[in-house]
Every structure is written in structure tokens, then in C-alpha cells.
Amino acid sequence: MQQITTPEWVKDAVFYQIFPDRFAQSQRVQKSNCLQPWGSQPTPKGYQGGDLLGVVEHLDYIQDLGINALYFNPIFQSACNHRYHTHDYYQVDPMLGGNAALRELVTEAHKRGIRVVLDGVFNHASRGFFQFNDILEQGAASAYLDWFTVEAWPLHPYDGSKPANYVAWYNLRDLPKFNTDTAAVREFLMGVGEYWVREFEIDGWRLDVAAEITTPGFWEEFRSRVKAINPEAYIVAEIWEEAQEWLQGDRFDATMNYEWTAAAIAFTAGERVSIELVKDRSYTPYPALDAAGYSQAIQRLLGLYDWNVTQVQMNLLDSHDTARYLSIARGDKASVRLGTLLQMTYPGAPSIYYGSEICIRGSHDTEKPLDDSEARWAFPWEQPDTWDTEMLAYMKAAIALRNAHPALRRGRYQDVLAEGDVYVFARQDEQETLLVAVNVGMDAQTVTCSLGDIIEGEPQLQRAFGDGEAPIEGGGKLTLILAPRSGGVWSL
């Protein structure tokens, strides 16, 4: 069997996901007179005017967090604030600063050792995409008729009372689905994938609803052509479920690891999870898991993929497609801290959704169904008094822990103990062993661990992070004393 290779840099990456319209504004980008006020209630339509040069101007903040990779939601020209409705795949949206802003961003990020990954929306376009617009104008005479799938005439792209008469993603008529069986469509999309890697030196693609493209050989060709330009380009797919068939080394390097997300939330938030905020999504962070249940879920995940794949999975607690984790946990900040500790000590590339490090405002009502816009509040740069500085300090420390210890990034993973509310595991390489322990319960816990399978002789312990005590009993045994809703890391 051919060995699976994945980008080496991703194994050391900590991502920061940015929703461009809501992260930061720069005075260097001309603003419309019709923007919504920065920090106002997010709405499905309308813009608040974030841009890419605003990101450039806050790279100090990003670097100080310990971040070394950025993942951007779509940045190409589009008539919606989330920009998943692409009009022009070769133009960065002018409201974001255009192509010149992206070039400056990539240049300045690379100077700091920060990688840049863009969102590729290749399953569907928009009603304003030129080739689809030509069909709307020309009807059956359009030269681009086979770029999409027309089922009947006339087309109704805006009148919801009538059938659209063309195939659209999720039956959303504003998202006409590409016909990737057409050679010209495939070549167009391959060219887009190559262009931004070659001409702007981006470091990879996050691929939106990637499993929806089922044309044989499509993703294999995409991978080979992108990797021919940059063999270390990261190709990560939005697939929420198990994805063994997609992660065999011929298509994607990784997925957004919502399977881990679900397990981590079910364990660290438990019964606090607001079902209203997570139902009808493609992951299930409920029912609650105890330590044994979490251990079982993790062992299943670790057995799904090649180790090189596991080490580059994008591990997240929240994103633009979910409620903020703090909202899911009904405001329980201990859940966020515990989840972050697990995230920073688990194999793969952690991803922090912008603002979660300061407990940015999220859903107002945790008992109402999720409105995506509630997870897209503007970053309150001008209101630092609203920041949760304790959470910010915790996340910076947790990221620094990961960055400081190669064993947390590339070391072996081994369960040590899973009893009741307490889960203990080890990460180990040739130089170091780190022991991670979390207590998700409301009571203090004292547990005894046997370390005979991990190290020889009596351990020498040094606290590396967090809370708890770890007296050595002798005979390769260790007692862990953990406060309620807390975790700690020790170097052995």
C-alpha cells in the first residue's frame, strides 16, 4: 500500500478562522456609504465592511495569540456577506480590498511564518456568475448551457413561488450547482485552484461541501494539479462525517474534524449542551459522554485514518456553520476551557474561530434554533472592555503549550485512564512524555494512574499547564488530584 503523505507544516499549525466581513476594517479600503454599523446585530444580508487589509493591520494580535495559519471564509467577489455565492473566482471582492489586498496579506503573513488557506466554493456558483447569467439572458441559446443543469424552461431564479427549473445546491436557487461532468467546467475550476496557489502563493484550499462533487476523478485531478505547483499545499474538505474514502492520499489531506468536535463538546459540556443550537446540523454533540464514552469515541477516530492524515485533521470547537461553543454550553466558560485544553493536546491542527478567544458575543438565546448570523458578530476592537481577558490569557497559554512541546503535535497518543468524569492520556515522542488530565465533573476527583506502559522507572514530574496536583506513589503509580471542571498537563 502506498504511503499517504500530508503537508508537514500542518502538523505544527494552529489555525485562526476569519469571517472577512466581520474581523477588522482598514481605512485604506474605500467604504460604501451603505454599510451596517460595525458591531451591530448581524443579519443574513448586508455588510459591516471588514476587509483583508484590516487583517494585515492586526497580524500582531494574531501572532501574539500564537497562531501560525489563517483560514479565510470566501473572499472572492460575491453579492452576499459570507461570499459563498461567487460571482468572479479571479477577483477578490473590492469591499475586501481587491487582489492587491490579498497579495499584501499573504506577503506580510508569510514574513511572520503565518500560512494562508482560502475557502474554495467549487460545487456551486451564484446567479450573478457570468456563465449562469448568460443562460438567464440567452435561454436555450446560451453557449454555457452545459455548465449547469437545466431541467425545464423558463428558469425562475428569484420567484420562490415557482420552480427554479435548474439544479441548485440544497435547492437554494441562489446557488446553481456546477455540472462538473462538463469538461469546460472542470478545466475552469482546476484553473482557479491553480491560479491562487501559483500567482498569490496561498498555502492551500478549504473545500466547501466537497463531497457534493461526485464526478469521477475530479478531486484526484484537483489534488495533482495543485500539488504540482506546491507539494505542501493543504487540501482540507468540509465533510462533517467519517471520510475514509476521501482520505486515502489521492484526494484530500484532511477534513474539518466535526467528528472530534462532537465528541469533545459532548464530554466537556455534557448536559449543558443546548440541543436547539446543535440540532439539524451534520454533527451530534449529544447525548453527553462520560470519560469512558469520550475515550471510546477518540479511539474510534484514531483508528479511522492513516496517522499522517490524523496529524493534519482540522480540529475545531466552533465555526461560521455552528453556534459559538460558549453559546452551545449555555455560557459555561469552563466547558470552553476544557474543550480548548483537549483541542490543543489532540493530534491534528487546532482551529480557533475568530473572537472565541475573547468570548465574543454569540447567540442571545440558547434555547432557540441556531441562526448562522448569530455566530458572525463583528470583532469589538474598539470595545476592549467587552473582552474576556481571562479566557484570552487561557487560550494564549494553551496555544503556547502546544507550540512549545513537539510531543503534543507529533507524538503518540495513548489512553491512561477513563473513569467517571476523569480522562487522562499521554502524548509521547522520543524526547518527552506529557500527561494530560481533565475532570469534567462538578466535584473534585482523586484518581490513581499506572504509568508502567508509558515510562520505565519512577517518573519525574513537572507541571506544564493548568491545575491539579500529581504526587508520585512509587511503583510506577501516580495520584492525580483534580479540582472540579479543571485540567492540567505534566511533563514526565
Answer yes or no: 208 catalytic.
yes
**Nearest-angstrom CA–CA distance, 236 and 227:** 13
Average pLDDT of the chain is 96
Question: What pLDDT, on the 0 to 100 scale, is given for residue 35?
Answer: 98
| Helix, strand, coil % in the chain, rounded to nearest 5 | 35, 20, 45
CA distances from 488 to 259, 334, 348, 469, 484 (A): 24, 13, 20, 9, 12
Confidence of residue 461 (pLDDT cuts 50, 70, 90): confident
Tell me the pLDDT tens digit for each residue of 225-239: 999 999 999 999 999
Flag whether pLDDT at 327 surpasses 80.
yes
Average pLDDT over residues 157-167: 97
- The whole-model pTM stands at 0.97
Average pLDDT over residues 293-315: 98
Answer yes or no: 203 catalytic.
no
Which of 13-17, 345-349, 409-413, 470-474 bottoms out in mean pLDDT, i.e. has the lowest? 470-474
Tell me the pLDDT tens digit for each residue of 107-158: 999 999 999 999 999 999 999 999 999 999 999 999 999 999 999 999 999 9
Q: Which residue has the higher pLDDT, 224 or 492?
A: 224
Question: What pLDDT, on the 0 to 100 scale, is given for residue 363?
Answer: 67
Which of 57-61, 432-436, 475-479 bottoms out in mean pLDDT, i.e. has the lowest? 475-479
Q: What is the architecture of the domain spanning 8-123+178-404? A: Alpha-Beta Barrel (3.20)
Phi-psi region of 57 (alpha: psi -120 to 50; beta: other; left: phi over 0): alpha
Could you give the percent of the chain with pLDDT greater than 90? 91
Domain range annotation of the chain: 8-123+178-404, 411-491
Question: What pLDDT, on the 0 to 100 scale, is given for residue 368?
Answer: 80
Average pLDDT over residues 387-413: 98
Question: What pLDDT, on the 0 to 100 scale, is given for residue 265?
Answer: 98
Tell me the pLDDT tens digit for each residue of 18-53: 999 999 999 999 999 999 999 999 999 999 999 999
Average pLDDT over residues 89-94: 98
Question: What pLDDT, on the 0 to 100 scale, is given for residue 454?
Answer: 86
Query: Is 272 in contact with 291 (CB distance < 8 Å)?
Result: no
Among the options 21, 51, 174, 238, which is catalytic? 238
Question: What pLDDT, on the 0 to 100 scale, is given for residue 475?
Answer: 76
Flag whether pLDDT at 1 surpasses 80.
no
Paired with 433 in beta bridges are 428
Q: What is the architecture of the domain spanning 411-491? A: Sandwich (2.60)
CA distances from 384 to 101, 359, 364, 381, 476 (A): 26, 12, 20, 6, 48
Average pLDDT over residues 305-329: 97
Average pLDDT over residues 354-372: 85
Which set of grid coordinates corresponds to residue 210? 466537497
Tell me the pLDDT tens digit for each residue of 273-301: 999 999 989 999 999 999 999 999 999 99
Instruction: Identify which of 90, 95, 93, 97 has the alpha carbon closest to the alpha carbon of residue 57.
Output: 97
Among the options 21, 119, 203, 208, which is catalytic? 208
Confidence of residue 15 (pLDDT cuts 50, 70, 90): very high
In sign, the C-alpha dihedral spanning 395, 396, 398, 403 is: positive
Which set of grid coordinates corresponds to residue 443? 466535584
